[in-house]
Amino acid sequence: MTDRANSSPGGTDDGIFEVEGQPFTESRELGKMATLIAGVAVGAMIGAGAALLLAPGSGDETRTAIKRRVRKLTKRERGVWKSLAGALAEAANETAARSKLQVAKASSEVAAVRARV
């Protein structure tokens, strides 16, 4: 009996896998993701246009408010990126230290085996 979750019908390997009766192809999933991203982008543009048209202030007031908001968000974003960079650097340093310890341990084990031979 074959496992239907990991094999294609007829036993051929044509790049299509079935999971619970649903065919899966990477290109099909990427197409769905691209459609979703395009929909979000179009929705954001429509929302931005509606916000500008329905804004309670004049054009100059609205532009000034937008510039102020963008500056505030940019400052906050810089702090987030710096924090993320610090966390990533710390994780990389910890990983490097663990790797060095594992290499040293493996080297000592190899030396011990060679000494026995």
pLDDT, tens only, 46-97: 988 888 777 777 778 878 888 888 888 888 888 888 888 888 888 888 988 9
Find out whether 19 and 6 touch, Cβ atoms under 8 Å: no
| Beta carbons within 8 Å of 78's beta carbon, 6+ residues apart | none
Query: Which residue has better confidence, 31 or 6?
Result: 31
Whole-prediction pTM: 0.36
pLDDT, tens only, 88-114: 888 888 988 989 999 999 999 999 999
Distances (CA, A) of 9 to 1, 13, 19, 75, 114: 12, 9, 12, 55, 52
